[in-house]
Amino acid sequence: MSTRYALAAAALASTLAISPAIATAAPPAPESPAPAPSAPAPAAKHQLTGYWQNFVNNAKPLKVSDISPAYDIVALAFANADPAKPGAVTFGVDPKLSEALGGYTDADLKADIAAQKAAGRTFVLSVGGELGNVDLGSETNVANFVDSVGKILTEFGLDGLDIDLEHGLNVPNTASAIRQLRDRAGDGFRLTMAPQTLDVQPGGRYLELIEQVKDLITVVHTQYYNSGSMNGCDGGVHSQGSVDFITAQACTLLKTLRPDQVSLGLPASPSAAGSGYVDPPVITAALDCLTSATNCGQYKPERGHPELSGVMTWSINWDATSGDAFSKPVRAHLDSLP
């Protein structure tokens, strides 16, 4: 999700190119009312989610206390696989990040999270990322995962989990792990997901996972970047970088989830992803199209979904590097939506 993964992103864009067989246009499917499962939701109607980088690259290193107030949900990226215990993960301030910030410690991070939560911000632990492999292939591994994540959530005072597993997703075992964590955490548990575009195409593995745990989902923010062309629910094939690429794919999730469970994932700057960056006006047009059926491209939904959750970005650090050039206009537009 960052320039740390630029080579992998380029390879992903190549492998995701739609074949002629897949690209054959299907008749547009009518939008059906989304189910209404009961799930916890953050207080803000239209949310801005961002990933905080717990590592050092060319983006600006940040303490959690220095995150822009524009963000409602912060995903801590990332928990690391525990080499000593299959399925388990570990988390703490990366040593290089600590050094870059003049000695930022786990205790400092915990204090910052507590202060930010008191101000109404939500924090989730992100598991995965382009280079993050977590093996949930057995019941023992699932138990290790649940135990380790549960302890981290408690230790750092976090609200829940972000699933960003991009390798070998075991759907039933991941669903089981999520439900076990929810049972431990209680009603305040937050669940977010950051699937790649291919994985939420019809038949995609994340779409299958979403179906199994949609009653627990806070928000799903598909990564509309580092992608090849994708089928839209309008039967067309759309290239990344356009309003239609975003809106004609988001409508697939809107048939499965409530609008307040659907968000749009975009890079904060051209340096933040291998491909797929769009200027904020493209994002705000997509928001208008999906919430009120205005400012659309070729695809126009049958109706607007004013309850749409909002926007996610990779990453908060890349946004800060550009002087908040992403979050300022996007936040302002989210606040202007009904």
CATH number at residue 91: 3.20.20.80
Q: Mean pLDDT over residues 189-203, rounded?
A: 96
| Residue 21 pLDDT > 60 | no
Candidates 130, 166, 211, 307; catalytic one? 166
- Its domain, for residue 104, covers 3-336
- Looking at the 3D structure of the chain, how many domains does it have? 1
Confidence of residue 38 (pLDDT cuts 50, 70, 90): very low
The verdict on whether 307 is a catalytic residue reads no
Mean pLDDT on 246-267: 97
Q: Quick one: pLDDT at residue 168? A: 81
pLDDT, tens digit, for every residue of 76-111?
A: 999 999 999 999 999 999 999 999 999 999 999 999
Q: Give residue 89's pLDDT.
A: 97
The Cα-based distances of 327 to 14, 33, 87 in angstroms read 29, 31, 35
Mean pLDDT, the chain, rounded, equals 89
List, in order, residues 6 or more apart from 219 with CB less than 8 Å away. 47, 49, 73, 192, 193, 260, 261, 262, 263, 309, 310, 312
Mean pLDDT value of segment 313-318: 98
